[in-house]
Amino acid sequence: MWPFSTEQHGLWLVLYLVTWAMHAVFVGYVLVGSAYALVQSLRTADDPIADRARDLLPFMLGCGITAGVAPLLFLQLLYQERFYTANLLLGPRWGAVVPALIAGFYALYLAKAASSLRWRRIALAIATGTFLFVAWSWTELHLVMRDDAAWKAMYGAGDRLYGQGDVIPRLLLWLGAMPILFATVALWLGGPSRRLAAIALGGHVVAGAAVAWIIVRGGEVGSAHGWLYLLLAAVAIEVGAWLWLARSPSSMASSLVTAATTAALLAGAVVREAPRLQLLEPTRQAAREASGFPVFAVTAVFGVLAIAFVWRTIKTARS
């Protein structure tokens, strides 16, 4: 079963999918955490989930950006011509992703430090808006990479927007998946609650509607049917665990939620990638002979240990 059976690209694909899934956890927490904290600030309601999220968001965004470096590099290696062509076609509007992230990063610090409720709301609104823009831009890039037919038309017209109808349902799918990731992480940061269960179940409703929309538009899963069945089973278990958690919070239900969400995320990563498997570039001999994997492995271990040390230091200082 691919990606493990793909002899030429198997290693790169596995590393890409695993690192992408890790990145998705952090960015899901940041986007939904920013939006949730904004809504609660508008309601002027005391909410420990929102307070904890606002306090952690700058750190989580840093983790998300750092965790995004590896999948970005693997993406460039696997889809060389596709990736760079999509970058050039989207042009300066795609380049606006970096300034948007910078603005969102500083806005999160302002939201954390601001004593004024008004400035806190403004900062959270800016952060949420910039992160939505980034999510939309990545959705566009993913689709442009696959749509050869649109390349000449976009280049000829000088169009920097990929206005095809697939953008909205695909973006909606990930905007539904992110609340599930946020709720799962928040579950372990602050303990189980019915509100987190409601957030996760609401995310499933949105994601389910987006999947139905994509199916109606002729969406496909390529060669990943086995992974699709695993994804469906994991989602069913996860929904059941969230319902259990909503009725009777327990550590067993929390563990089941985490395990099922992890399985669904990894299976979903494979299903997401399968339709463009045929677009993989031949891996260059130089890439295979560069002996970069040992360096990557050592750096990855060092990075994980460094993040764990920073996390523990912050947690100790707060306690």
Condensed to tens digits (0 to 9), the pLDDT of residues 149-181 reads: 888 888 888 888 887 778 899 999 999 999 999
What mean pLDDT is reported for the chain?
87
Residue 125 has pLDDT above 60, yes or no: yes
- Confidence class for position 267, pLDDT limits 50, 70, 90: very high
Does residue 171 lie within any of the structural domains?
A: yes
- Domain match, 269 and 121 both: yes
**pLDDT in the model for residue 156:** 84
Shared-domain flag, residues 161 and 298: no
Answer yes or no: do 105 and 38 share one domain. yes
pLDDT at 221 over 80: no
Residues 63 and 165 in one domain: yes
Considering the domain architecture, whether residues 277 and 128 belong to the same structural domain is answered as yes
What is the percentage of the chain residues whose pLDDT exceeds 70? 91
Least confident of 69-83, 118-132, 205-219, 282-296: 282-296
Asked if residue 316 has pLDDT above 90, the reply is no
Which DSSP string corresponds to the chain? -TTTT-TTTHHHHHHHHHHHHHHHHHHHHHHHHHHHHHHHHHTT---HHHHHHHHHHHHHHHHHHHHHHHHHHHHHHHSHHHHHHHHHHHHHHHHTHHHHHHHHHHHHHHHHH--SHHHHHHHHHHHHHHHHHHHHHHHHHHHHHH-HHHHHHHHHHT------TTHHHHHHHHHHHHHHHHHHHHHHHH---HHHHHHHHHHHHHHHHHHHHHHHTT---TT-HHHHHHHHHHHHHHHHHHHHHHHS--HHHHHHHHHHHHHHHHHHHHHHHGGGGGGPPPPPHHHHHS--HHHHHHHHHHHHHHHHHHHHHHHHHH-
State the residue range of the domain holding 311. 294-319
Q: Per the domain annotation, does 5 fall within a domain?
A: no
| Residue with more model confidence, 222 or 3 | 222
**7-50 confidence digits (pLDDT tens):** 556 678 888 999 999 999 999 999 999 999 999 999 887 889 99
In a domain, residue 240? The reply is yes
Q: Residues 198, 137: one domain?
A: yes
254 & 305 share domain: no
Asked if the model's pLDDT at residue 224 lies above 80, the reply is: no
- For residues 170 and 251, membership in a common domain is answered with yes
Predicted confidence band of residue 139 (pLDDT cuts 50, 70, 90): very high
